[in-house]
Amino acid sequence: MRNFTSVNDLLSVSDKDISNAIDIMVKKALSYKADPFMDQSLGKNKRIGCLFLNPSMRTRLSTEIAASNLGMQSIIFNVGAEGWALEFEEEAIMSGTTVEHVKDAAPIFGKYFDIIAIRTFPSLKNKDDDYSELYIKQFIKYAGIPVVSLESATLHPLQSFTDIITIQEQLQKQVSASHKPKIVLTWAPHVKPLPQCVANSFSQWINAWGKADFVITHPEDYELSEEFTKGATITYNQDEALQNADFVYVKNWSTFKDYGKIYESDPKWMLNNKKISITNNARVMHCLPVRRNVELSDEILDGPNSIVTSQAGNRVWAAQAILAEILKNK
């Protein structure tokens, strides 16, 4: 693996198919969970630069811990808050607010680091710009070293890899592990427009894995891009979707078609214990941070069905497995 920006980058780890590649990488991540320091020499004398154009808690800390477990040094650079404002457009006339072109900055990161990891967010103003993934593509083009996405304009692959690790880990704990799980991605209310990244990425990974009945439920007009959801059952009826669910993934996203809008904030979409009673005692997941009693109720987050804390804990093993795979191939 050279870069990691979506599930498709896993193809290089299996000569069979993407589903097999996911299973191989999940096994690898869980082996790091069992023995975090077994590959301490892999990252010796290597350095990762983690560039943040946006805030983060879990992604930043888990990536630093993963790098440290592999014996690798990490340097965090909050580009958005502390660095020069970067320009990403080719042939830009830089007479506005941007100070340094990515064409000049990225090769320098390439000299300082062995891997760079970068977090960007979408503007939510221009769909074509956001879905072109210009920021991460420009880093790949100009850095000359492997690039890892810590969340891009449209995808959050380390989060989704974590989510599949968490689902497989839960399935291994169940007596009836052999049954095909029903996984539901449900839209939840929020107070401001959020990116589609987590929902896009979760859909992309669950579809690529192909070992679940996958249902997406959201209000009308909240359809995600078919590029990621194709293969899933999509319904506007949340109660119908939740029936017999084994896992419920809760997430807000803004509209995709009429881009970046909030049309709906009906609290009836928020998951509570009554809704959980329709499920197969489903485990409830969320990538965090979460707005309590807006996106998810206290009774769910503080109750026995929530696995959000162990899910966030697994971010370390996902990052470690990906960094190890890149280091192995360097």
Closest separation in Å from C-beta 251 to ligand CP: 10
Q: Residue number with the shortest CB distance to ligand CP?
A: 59
The answer to whether 300 and 308 have CB atoms below 8 angstroms apart is no
Q: Bridge-partner residues for 235, per DSSP?
A: 217
Closest separation in Å from C-beta 159 to ligand CP: 5
Closest separation in Å from C-beta 312 to ligand CP: 7
**H-helix segments, the chain:** 18-34, 58-69, 79-82, 102-112, 127-131, 134-143, 157-173, 197-209, 226-229, 238-242, 273-276, 298-301, 308-313, 315-328
> What is the total residue count of the chain?
330
> Which range, of 12-20, 53-61, 90-98, 290-298, touches ligand CP by CB under 6 A?
53-61
Contacts of 56 (CB under 8 A, 6+ apart): 119, 150, 151
Distance CA 73, CA 227 (A): 36
Quickly tell me which residue has 């990906």 as its tokens: 322
Q: Which of 3, 6, 56, 201 binds ligand CP (CB under 6 A)?
A: 56
Query: Site for ligand CP (CB under 6 A): how many residues?
Result: 8
Of residues 59 and 154, the one with the C-beta less far from ligand CP? 59
Closest separation in Å from C-beta 287 to ligand CP: 4
5 Cα distance to chain centroid: 10
Q: Which of 3, 59, 160, 170 binds ligand CP (CB under 6 A)?
A: 59
Stretch 269-288: interaction string toward ligand CP, x if CB under 6 A: ------------------xx
Kindly state whether residue 238 participates in binding ligand CP, applying the rule CB under 6 A: no
Kindly state whether residue 58 participates in binding ligand CP, applying the rule CB under 6 A: yes
List binders of ligand CP among 149-168 (CB under 6 A): 151, 159
Closest separation in Å from C-beta 5 to ligand CP: 15
Closest separation in Å from C-beta 71 to ligand CP: 23
How would you label 24-59 residue by residue, b for 16+ Cβ within 10 Å and e otherwise? bbbebbbebbeebeebeebbeebebbbbbbeebebb
List binders of ligand CP among 17-36 (CB under 6 A): none
The answer to whether 116 and 79 have CB atoms below 8 angstroms apart is no
Point out which residues bind ligand CP (CB under 6 A).
56-59, 151, 159, 287-288
